[in-house]
A and B are shown apart, each in its own frame.
Chain A
Amino acid sequence: MTNGGGESGREHEQHNRMQRISSGDEFAKSIAKIAVVQVCEIVGFQTFQLSALETLSDVAVQYIHNIGKTAHLYANLAGRVECNVFDIIQGLEDLGVVQGFIGASDVDHCLASSGTVREIAQYVTETEHIPFAYSIPQFPVVKDRKLTPSFWQRGVETPGEHIPSWLPAFPESHTYAQSPISNERAIEPHTDMIEQEKQQRNVERSLYNLQRRLLCNGLEGPSVGPEDADKAKQARESNPFLATPLQYGETEVSHVALPAKLSSEATARNVVAENHVLNQSSLLETFAPAIEAVKSGSCESEEGRKEILLNRRPIVQFKVGTAKKSFGTTFHSSPHNKGFQKTDSWFERENEKDVKKRRAEKILKDSMENQEELAEL
C-alpha cells in the first residue's frame, strides 16, 4: 500500500518520527499503524492519507484499550483479578452496543452464545488470513528488578524491635561499618604528601647550598682562613639572613652567579698559593680536571689574579649597597684571559673617561664662578 498523500508523504513520516521520539510509545504506535495499513489493504484500499491512517490506528488502539478496560471492570465486578472469556465478551458487547449485534435486544441472553462472538467467528472464517508483516520481539522490555531480600526472607533477626521483619535487610556490615584501617587510609595520603614535600624541600636546599658553596669557594680570597669560611657557610646554611656581615676589605662574598671557569680558576689559585686542604676538598676533586685544564691553559696567572681582584671589588660594593659606582658586571661569557684583559681595558677606559669628565666639570664650574665674580667686580 502506498501513501496517497503525495511524494512528500515519506518525508512527513520521517519528520513526525523525529518530532515524537520522546513520546515513549513510538514503537507500539508504529506497529499499530502497520497493522492497520495491512487491514486496509485487505479491505481494498490502495493508498492512504497519513492523517487518516494515524486517526484510524489511534482509534484501533483505543478500541483495544477499551476492551481491556471493560473486561477488567467486569472481572473486578465478579470479584476476580484475572479476566476470562466472558469478561471479554461482555466488554465486546458493551462496545458493540452502538452498532448493534445479534441478540442485543435480549437482556438475559447467555454470553456463550453471544452474537458478537458469532460475528467474529464468521469474520475469521471469511477474511483472508494475512499475518503481520514483521516478527516483533516482546515489548516493552522490562528488566527483572532484583529486590533486596527482607529480614524475614534472609532469616535474620532485625537489629531492633522497632524495625519490622518485612523491611529489606541491611547490607553487609562491612559495607558501612567504620573500621580503623579505613581511617588510617583516609589520613595516609595527606601525610605522604607532606613527607614528599619535605623531602623535595630538603633536596632543593641541599642543591642550593651546594651551588652557593661552589661560588663562595671560588671567590674565597687568601685573606680569609678556612675556619672562618666554614663558620660563615654554616651560618648561611641555617639561615641566609644570618650571613656574616662583610667587611669592606673582605673578598668572600656573594652568591651572584659567576662563570663556572672563573670560579674554578680562583679556587685553583687558592690551592696553588696556600695549599690548604679545605673541607670542600671533595668539590675540588670533582673539579680537578677543569682545574688542570685551567692550570695548563693560563700562563700569566699573576696578571689574571689582579684582574679578578679588580673585578671582585665592584661585586662587594653591589652587595653591600653603597652608593659608589660599580662597573662590575660579573657575568662574562668569555672566560679566557683575553676577555678579561679586554674588560680590564674597558674598565680603565671608563675610569679615564670619568676622570676627564670630572675635570671638565670642574673647569666649567670654576670658570662660571669666575665669571660671576668678574661680573660682581
Chain B
Amino acid sequence: MNQNPTQNQNQQPSDGGKHDDDAALTDFLASLMDYTPTIPDELVEHYLAKSGFQCPDVRLIRLVAVATQKFVSEVATDALQQCKARQASVVKDKRDKQQKDKRLILTMEDLSRALREHGVNVKHQEYFADSPSTGMDPATREE
C-alpha cells in the first residue's frame, strides 16, 4: 500500500490535529447517512447480529457495509488485473482461437490468486466441474 508520510506526521504533533481528526470522523460518519452502499444494510445487520454485534446506530452498520464493499471491490480489482494480465500474455496465434473468451470473466483461478494477497487461502479445486466446458478449459488456460 502506498504509505503517506505527511499524513502520519500530521496525526501526532498537536491537539488541534486530533480535533480535526475527530471532526473528519464525525463528518465521514454523518456523510454515511446519505450514502447507501451496494451491500444492503439488512444483510450487514443480519450477519453482524449473528456475530454478537449490538448497536442501534445505522451509521456504524453503514461503515461496516462500506468497509466490506471496499474489501470486495479490492479483491475484484486484483482479480481483474490477474485476468487482464493472463489474457495479455496469450500468444498471438492462439488469441484468435480465444476470441470468444475475450470477455472479462471472474474465474476461480484469478479470484484465488487475488484472495491469497488478502490473506484468504482459497484452493482451486482441480476437478471442480463449473460448466460443461470445464474439462477442456485448462489446456488453453495454462499458458
* Chain A contact residues, CB within 8 Å of chain B: 4-6, 8-9, 12, 28, 31-32, 35-36, 38-40, 42-53, 55-56, 59-61, 63-69, 71-72, 81-85, 88, 92, 98-103, 106, 109-110, 112-113, 115-121, 123-124, 127, 129-132, 136-140
B108 touches A49 (CB 8 A): yes
Does B42 reach chain A (CB closer than 8 Å)? yes
Contacting residues, chain B, for A106 (C-beta < 8 A): 8, 11-12
B42 touches A136 (CB 8 A): yes
A98 touches B44 (CB 8 A): no
Residue in chain B with minimal CB distance to A100: B1
A47 touches B68 (CB 8 A): no
Contacting residues, chain A, for B11 (C-beta < 8 A): 103, 106, 109-110, 113
Contacting residues, chain A, for B50 (C-beta < 8 A): 65, 68
- How far is B112's CA from A56's CA once the two chains are assembled, in angstroms? 9
Q: Quote the shortest CB–CB distance from A236 to chain B (angstroms).
A: 87
Within 8 A of A (CB), among B101-143: 103-108, 110-112, 115, 117-120, 122, 125, 128, 130-133
Within 8 A of A (CB), among B80-117: 80, 83, 103-108, 110-112, 115, 117
Does B33 reach chain A (CB closer than 8 Å)? no
Size category of the binding interface on chain B: 35 or more
Q: Contacts A35-B39, A127-B73 hold; do A61 and B103 have CB atoms under 8 A apart?
A: no
Residue in chain A with minimal CB distance to B46: A28
Does B7 reach chain A (CB closer than 8 Å)? yes
Contacting residues, chain A, for B105 (C-beta < 8 A): 4, 45-49
Contacting residues, chain B, for A83 (C-beta < 8 A): 53-55, 60
- How far is B107's CA from A368's CA once the two chains are assembled, in angstroms? 119
Q: Quote the shortest CB–CB distance from A284 to chain B (angstroms).
A: 93
- How far is B137's CA from A128's CA once the two chains are assembled, in angstroms? 34
A6 touches B28 (CB 8 A): no
A6 touches B131 (CB 8 A): yes
Does B58 reach chain A (CB closer than 8 Å)? no
B104 touches A46 (CB 8 A): yes
Does B4 reach chain A (CB closer than 8 Å)? yes
A49 touches B106 (CB 8 A): yes
22 contacting pairs across A/B (C-beta < 8 A): A8-B131, A28-B43, A35-B40, A42-B73, A44-B80, A45-B104, A49-B106, A50-B130, A56-B75, A56-B76, A59-B115, A63-B72, A64-B43, A67-B51, A67-B67, A68-B52, A82-B56, A112-B22, A113-B21, A123-B69, A136-B42, A136-B43
Contacting residues, chain A, for B133 (C-beta < 8 A): 6
Q: Contacts A6-B133, A28-B46, A32-B43 hold; do A52 and B107 have CB atoms under 8 A apart?
A: yes
Q: Quote the shortest CB–CB distance from B42 to chain A (angstroms).
A: 5
Q: Quote the shortest CB–CB distance from B138 to chain A (angstroms).
A: 13
B52 touches A102 (CB 8 A): no
Contacting residues, chain A, for B132 (C-beta < 8 A): 6, 8
In the A-B complex, list the 3 residue pairs whose CB atoms are closest, starting with the nearest.
Answer: A68-B51, A113-B21, A98-B119
- How far is B50's CA from A72's CA once the two chains are assembled, in angstroms? 11
- How far is B39's CA from A51's CA once the two chains are assembled, in angstroms? 20
**A9, A67, A101: which has the most chain B beta carbons within 10 Å?**
A67
Contacting residues, chain A, for B48 (C-beta < 8 A): 64-65, 67-68
- How far is B48's CA from A101's CA once the two chains are assembled, in angstroms? 24
B66 touches A46 (CB 8 A): no
Q: Quote the shortest CB–CB distance from A42 to chain B (angstroms).
A: 7
- How far is B9's CA from A109's CA once the two chains are assembled, in angstroms? 11
A64 touches B64 (CB 8 A): yes
Q: Quote the shortest CB–CB distance from A345 to chain B (angstroms).
A: 97
Contacting residues, chain B, for A40 (C-beta < 8 A): 72, 76, 106
A98 touches B111 (CB 8 A): no
- How far is B128's CA from A228's CA once the two chains are assembled, in angstroms? 105
- How far is B104's CA from A106's CA once the two chains are assembled, in angstroms? 40
Q: Quote the shortest CB–CB distance from A221 to chain B (angstroms).
A: 100
Within 8 A of A (CB), among B1-29: 1, 3-4, 7-8, 11-12, 17-18, 21-22, 24-25, 28-29
- How far is B36's CA from A132's CA once the two chains are assembled, in angstroms? 8
Q: Quote the shortest CB–CB distance from A1 to chain B (angstroms).
A: 9
Contacting residues, chain B, for A49 (C-beta < 8 A): 105-108, 130-131
Q: Quote the shortest CB–CB distance from A48 to chain B (angstroms).
A: 4
